[in-house]
Structure 1
Amino acid sequence: MTIAHSKQNLHKKEALKHKKNKNKALFLPSGDSAIKSVINMTVRLLLDDQS
């Protein structure tokens, strides 16, 4: 039980790291982040259309 629990916590920590990295990406110089957000939105829309 404890092993499974610690694995879950590890995944949570990794997920939090990813969230922080995403937030950092949003605060890049304005031109760069604008392009990135547009690309991200486009990719999401394309993926939504496929499913």
Structure 2
Amino acid sequence: MSDEETEQVEEQYEEEEEAQEEEEVQEDAVAEEEREEDEEEEKPRPKLTAP
């Protein structure tokens, strides 16, 4: 394999790794949001009292 080919392959790997990391970050954010929503649902909502 020539240096140029090696470089292209390395770049491709890096791009795929970055895409994978971005995906994981997004999945973590979604999971965090869902956790927060679940916690909110578990808490009893304060009853609104009319003044």
Query: Shared fold by TM > 0.5?
Result: yes
Question: Unmatched 5+ residue regions in structure 2?
Answer: 1-15
Name the structure, 1 or 2, with higher relative contact order (CA <8 Å, separation 6+): 1
User: Higher helix fraction: Structure 1 or Structure 2?
Assistant: 1
- How far 1:3 moved relative to its partner? 0.4
Identity of aligned residues (%): 6
TM-score (norm 1): 0.56
C-alpha root-mean-square deviation of aligned residues, in Å?
Answer: 1.8
TM-score (norm 2): 0.56
Runs of 4+ in 1 over 2 A off after TM superposition: none
Between structure 1 and structure 2, the one with the greater Rg is: 2
Question: Unmatched 5+ residue regions in structure 1?
Answer: 36-51
2:19 maps to amino acid: A
- Equivalent pairs, count: 32
Find the partner of 1:28 among 43, 47, 50: 43
